Amino acid sequence: MCTVSVNGVTIGYDDVGEGTNALVLVHGHPFDRSMWRPQIEAVGRLGWRVIVPDLRGYGESTVVPGKTPIDQFARDVAALLDQLAIRSVVIGGLSMGGQVVMEFCRLFPARVRGVLLAATFPQAETDEGKRIRTAMADRLLREGMEAYAKEVLPKMVAPRNMAALPSVAEHVLSMMQAAHPAGAAAALRGRAERPDYEATLARLDVPATIVVGDEDAFTTRSDAERMHGLLRRSALVWMEGVGHMPNLEREAEFNAALCRLLDTVTVTANGEIGPSEDLVVRLMTAAETRLIVDYFCSSAPEHLELLGVDPTRLPAREAWQQRCEQQVALPVEQRSNLFVAWLLGDRPVGFSTADRIVFGEQANMHLHLVGPADRARGYGVECVRRCIDLYFDCLQLKRLFCEPNAFNVAPNRTLQKAGFKYVKTHMTVPGPLNYHQAVTQWVIER
């Protein structure tokens, strides 16, 4: 744990990782920075630096009684970044933390590279809401946090997840019980006077992700869709069976959404090299199916793991090759697999396969660029776009699905750029070569 003195208080924070890309995560009320532990590890794998502060009045930061306006929290975050010599960041927050993020965007728009808004909403407080928050502040000062924490726990964590994920419920309860009543009350009074942030969101022109659970007692589907409509470059992740703590209740799904956001920010900053005019996408011949067999049988174990492939499920080379050739010999409408080659001139750069084919209805697509250099040159998006046309034409499809590993950022980014729509992240065995894993389901329909 690190500390820094800013704006007359001491802020406790974690500073994990290094590099020029920085992410700030802001906790909600009445929590502390420990709520973001599952995300720190996931983001670290992408090579990002993660800054996670305790807001004033919470955790290991100074408790200031009275009233803490929402802009004070945002200015504290900015001052912390100044101390760390960090100019611009992706910034995310949950619940009240999301409103601190929106205030940060209002005050310091030039410092924002991307935004994550979880279980939050942009509207100013209603008169009734102000009355309720003021009354709750008085109650916390009078009674402390113990009874309040037990009372609101079922609103913070969906009841089914309290039973299924007892460690999550215990963590959320312990954070609330440990919060200082004076700090929590001061935040409630300040939050009651927050401005409306809809105009702020409408002005933002950065990648954004909105995450909301369908059992959230505080944020509605309407709130989520309103933010999605205001943020012109946003993705909306709607989580089923999730309450007010999506980052803890659906850790894998939340982390995948966060990683997609960070990758989008990186690509936006760095740009991409466009595809070559010599690129050809077509059905494979029988002999060309050896590319598929060789690709998987020759890949290093760590690459197979990134793909979600279980090496023990790979068939023997010759038997696999024979099955592929038998598929190619069948009429298209009778095939259970379709194989597509991606060629740059005469050189194979990748391939796609389709399975779970229901001719005239739907199929599931897989995609692979075979060389590291080609993965970096931007061919993937154009190859996938051309595959879409080919699959829809050959198989007379109405919809095409793809389910890459949720933590393999590149294909998820490629699908989004190619026009696929995000459906959900879930645990499954996506194919005969795969192990049970978190996958992101995408779909395109015509």
Q: What is the DSSP string of 190-239?
A: HHTT----HHHHHH--S-EEEEEETT-SS--HHHHHHHHHHSTTEEEEEE
Q: Does residue 206 share a domain with residue 223? A: yes
Q: Does residue 251 share a domain with residue 182? A: yes
- The pLDDT of residue 138: 96
Helices (H), 356-431: 372-375, 379-395, 409-417
- The yes-or-no verdict on residue 133 having pLDDT over 50 is yes
Phi, psi dihedral angles at 153 (to 5 degrees) = -55, -45
Strand partners, 343: 280, 348
CATH number at residue 74: 3.40.50.1820
Query: Stretch 230-251: mean pLDDT, rounded?
Result: 94
Q: Which of 245, 270, 295 is the last residue of a domain?
A: 270
Q: Does residue 142 share a domain with residue 62? A: yes
- The yes-or-no verdict on residue 267 having pLDDT over 80 is no
Q: Does residue 291 share a domain with residue 186? A: no
Q: Per residue in 324-345, pLDDT tens?
A: 999 999 988 899 999 999 988 7
Query: Which has the minimum average pLDDT: 84-93, 282-291, 344-353?
Result: 344-353
Q: Does residue 185 share a domain with residue 48? A: yes
Specify whether the CB–CB gap between 249 and 161 falls below 8 A: yes
Specify whether the CB–CB gap between 241 and 158 falls below 8 A: yes
Which residue did the predictor score with more confidence, 308 or 160? 160
- The pLDDT of residue 277: 47
- The yes-or-no verdict on residue 215 having pLDDT over 80 is yes
Query: Stretch 216-233: mean pLDDT, rounded?
Result: 94
| pLDDT band, residue 290 (cuts 50/70/90) | very high
Average pLDDT, the chain: 91
Predicted TM-score of the model (pTM): 0.65
| Residue 16 vs residues 23, 246, 346: alpha-carbon distances, Å | 10, 22, 46
- Residues of the chain with pLDDT > 70: what percent? 95
40 CB-near residues (< 8 Å, 6+ apart): 14, 16, 25, 50, 52
| pLDDT band, residue 281 (cuts 50/70/90) | confident
Structure tokens at 369: 């660029």
- The pLDDT of residue 376: 53
DSSP, collapsed to helix, strand or coil, labels residue 57 as: coil
Q: Does residue 225 share a domain with residue 77? A: yes
Q: Fill in the amino acid letter for 10.
A: T
Range of the domain at 210: 2-270
Q: Which of 252, 270, 288 is the last residue of a domain?
A: 270
Residue 181: which region, alpha, beta or left (left: phi > 0; alpha: psi -120 to 50)? Answer: alpha
Q: Does residue 307 share a domain with residue 195? A: no
Q: Does residue 257 share a domain with residue 370? A: no
CATH number at residue 337: 3.40.630.30
Q: Which of 232, 250, 270 is the last residue of a domain?
A: 270
Q: Fill in the amino acid letter for 274.
A: G
Query: Stretch 1-17: mean pLDDT, rounded?
Result: 95
Please give the tally of structural domains in the chain: 2
Q: Does residue 227 share a domain with residue 188? A: yes
Query: Which has the minimum average pLDDT: 230-234, 394-398, 425-429?
Result: 425-429
